[in-house]
Structure 1
């Protein structure tokens, strides 16, 4: 008998939790009733796989029932915080933006979005009448920052979810969701609503694509940081005990352009929905987000007739599209990379030379050590490394 979508989602979550390195067997005194605990003690011959599934099922039930109920009470508050943050962002102009510490990172992210838009526009137009218009739905469009990208792609029929569909009975060819899906992962209901909005009006063969945070990479950095923080000397621990101060259970991680702080210690599996962390990106983002457990998202998308066709980190996308003519052209036009070393009369974005050691090493080992190379600072590359792109097609 084939697995149900829910059991497939549970198995996917179990696999995801094992991949990101957290223990599946854990104390669940707070999540199961006493009689359930007693029954589980009697089932001593269960395999580790069964234990993992049981744990994930209990977590999933908690997320679908009580946890989601509690989250609905706070969902409006969280949405208000996010909306208020982005609504307060002011347009500072190109001149002021060029002096931003993340000038090239922002351009790089826009380059990622541009190559994705070009890629899926090409796939939709392939083999169809060139005069047939392509209809696009933009989810989480904010203030319309990608409007110019769509116009350059020749799109005349662009709908933003905040507006009513001009022709609600006509299906869309593409649905785009850029740097926004992680806000929907607060609860099962929000994820299903986002998927329904993205896929319900999509034609068969159409694409739902976007960019979001990479849960595996975030958890990897989170756990590594907390492991390092716990490896303190006995002397320091004794000093804290004498002073009556507590050890830091969650120190967060980041660099001079970004910071992430989870709302847990990183020692237990994160919840399926509502795995919250605070994210700060210099001058752009300063609000809570939620982990996107991708195998779970893939299973949930199947309920809406969607099949995953692409999932790549930003690093993988860069190495793919930078080799293509239009990708290289856009890198230059959009100033997505900084020239190292800086030319006469100009200076690097960061005054810290160690931020460009990777570029210096690359040139030193190249056939032209006295040349130049396009790059970003180490801190910007690290920030970009927390994201991935995805694409689903409607079957």
Structure 2
């Protein structure tokens, strides 16, 4: 994609336009290894920080439900899935259906960062909160970021964790500065960084970067359709969670996490090997391209814990009738309960 081809989408439209792909198509994709790396990071976060049995899980900005197989391994009792893209939530529902006799779920469609989750689910508390590759959209404004953090923390029980993957603001700013210094003022590419898989166009002043609203348009092949994202300043994020009695316990860029796994985190390394061999049978197809590796640099992990001691999770041995093609969901804006028919195979 060139800068001239940029068509900026809203978050909802951008993800509604993203096609659902088959396993075969994903395996042949130019971002296959990047996708698997991201899945490894998320798998490790769930393995390490999500309780083993009967947990209530919040998946804020759940997308198409790609983490459902990872949650399944933890045998949760309940999952709340929330996302702004109605097409993504429908695909998430399709993935959930086979597990619906064992796991209860609530689906929420709409802006899950701007809504009041506590009013939508007043009787629910969570043992694990997750927000993967999405919190940067909430940093459009301070008010929106504060609401997003409140939704991730207000119903989280003491001693429980919030795991986040989001943009690596420090890395992005460094790349934008290097690009700006290399090209003369007025050059149409001086505010753009890219390779053959992604393109990012800066919309903020490098000399005066605000804590909120530092936007850039981002395109990632097979994943993100030209949507405005916002820098997530680490200190600002940490302060927002501190105001909610949550302390940072882990923070690494994706590449740092990879090096740590190779050298001093055998649990993460073993998981990486297990996932790779499951996908590729051997390591002959496991080599990540330079372009994919560049993109890995652009993301970071943050894990917070809510103050207090965790309590024992009640046992849950209930079984439920499997759900039909009629999906019940809550409208994030109005709180109204609605239904929609979700065919087994998208047209």
Q: TM-score, normalised by structure 1?
A: 0.61
Other-structure match for 1:213: 167
Question: Following the alignment from structure 2 to structure 1, what is the Cα–Cα distance between the partners of residues 279 and 190?
Answer: 34
> C-alpha root-mean-square deviation of aligned residues, in Å?
2.7
- Equivalent residue for 1:191, pick from 114, 134, 145: 145
Match of 2:131 among 168, 173, 177: 177
Distance 1:247 1:138, change over 3 A: closer
Q: Does 1:149 align with 2:70?
A: yes
Picking from 3, 12, 32, the partner of 1:83 is 12
Tell me, yes or no, if the aligned pair for 2:139 and 2:212 is still in contact at 8 Å.
Answer: yes
Count of residues paired in the alignment: 264
Of residues 291, 308, 327 in structure 1, which corresponds to 2:268?
Answer: 327
Matches within 5 A, 1:218-229: 218-229=172-183
Match of 2:214 among 271, 275, 296: 275
List gaps (5 residues or longer) in structure 1: 1-77, 126-131, 232-245, 349-373
- Any conservation in 2 of the 1:115–1:321 contact (CA below 8 Å)? no
Cα pair 2:129 2:152 within 8 Å, conserved:
yes
User: Compared with structure 1, are the counterparts of its residues 223 and 95 closer, same or farther at alpha carbon in structure 2 (3 Å cutoff)?
Assistant: same
Residue 312 of structure 1 corresponds to 252
Call closer, same or farther: CA 1:325–1:153 in 2, change over 3 Å.
farther
How far the C-alpha of 1:94 sits from its partner, in A, is 1.2
Relative to structure 1, the CA distance from residue 382 to residue 336 in structure 2 (aligned partners, 3 Å threshold; closer, same or farther) is farther
3-state SS of 1:83 partner: helix
Deviates more, 1:153-162 or 1:280-289: 153-162
Q: 263, 272, 289: which is aligned to 1:377?
A: 289
2:27 aligns to what? Answer: 98
SS in structure 2 of the partner of residue 183 of structure 1: helix
What are the residue-to-residue correspondences of 1:1-395 with 2, within 5 Å? 81-121=10-50, 124=51, 133-161=54-82, 163=107, 168-230=122-184, 246-248=186-188, 250-264=190-204, 266=206, 268-286=207-225, 287-322=227-262, 324-335=265-276, 375-395=287-307
CA distance in 1, matches of 2:303, 2:243: 16
Secondary structure, in 3 states, of the residue corresponding to 1:375?
A: coil
* TM-score (structure 2 length as normaliser): 0.69
Bigger-Rg structure (1/2): 1
- Conserved? CA contact 2:184–2:190, under 8 Å: no
Q: Which runs of 4+ in 1 moved over 6 A?
A: 164-167, 336-339
Distance verdict in 2 for CA 1:209–1:218, change over 3 Å: same
- The Cα of 1:338 is off from its aligned counterpart by 10
Per the TM alignment, residue 81 of structure 1 is displaced from its structure 2 partner at its CA by 1.0
Mapped to 2, the partners of 1:150 and 1:249 lie a distance apart of: 42
Deviation track 1:142-180 (CA, whole Å, cap 9, x = no partner) reads 121111110022223212235369974342111000001
